[in-house]
Amino acid sequence: MARNEEVSLAAAVRVEATGCRTKASLGAGSFVAKGIVVTVAHVVAGADRVHVVLADGSRAIATVVAMDRDKDLALLAVSADITPLPRGPMAPGDEGVFVVYRDDAGVVLPFEAISFVDIDAPTIDHDGSTLRRGYRIEAVVAKGDSGSVLVTNGVATAVVFARSTATDGTAWAVDLSEADPLLAKATDAAVDVGDCT
């Protein structure tokens, strides 16, 4: 578990997006490629400015360079020399950690993958639903934790996007492989972030 904690904290960021509300929309994310952070689309949708807070407490401007509003994933380009997490799969029963932010500090929390499922979830625009491959996890997830990356055996596996409204201590995470098409086409150019959610 110590290795998971170390790599998770080093690669994690707090995401702050402004432009939609009087207060910034807050979430999390992690570096999963050189200069690229994965997070959730619903935190950055409609934003006119996005910043990240790095593990050392410094702030950096982030540019939304890819977004999938249906699968609730976004990629941010960040000019920072941070070692990205390797990406890979996990199986039901695997345990690991994810980083959330409490009082502006990164906190490592545990999770267990309960099942690997096709999740029929509403789009962030609430204009229907879409299937995404992902996990039902046992974890304590609070408001502002969306975008946290699940890490098992030092490998990034999934992105938390919602907590269960039916069962306490249960949350949902989209498999990181769902971001592969975004990673394949992302450049350093900003994309249209669309309307606020």
Residue-wise pLDDT for 57-83, tens only, equals 999 999 999 999 999 999 999 999 999
Q: Binning pLDDT at 50, 70 and 90, where does residue 167 land?
A: confident
Enter the pTM of the model.
0.96
Tokens 């055996």 identify what position? 153
Q: What's the distance, CA 122 to chain centroid?
A: 17
Contact, 29 vs 80, CB < 8 A?
no
Helix%, strand%, coil% for the chain, nearest 5: 10, 50, 40
pLDDT digits (tens, 9 = 90+) for 113-166: 999 999 999 899 989 999 999 999 999 999 999 999 999 999 999 999 999 888
Domains and their CATH numbers in the chain: 2-83+180-185 (2.40.10.10), 95-177 (2.40.10.10)
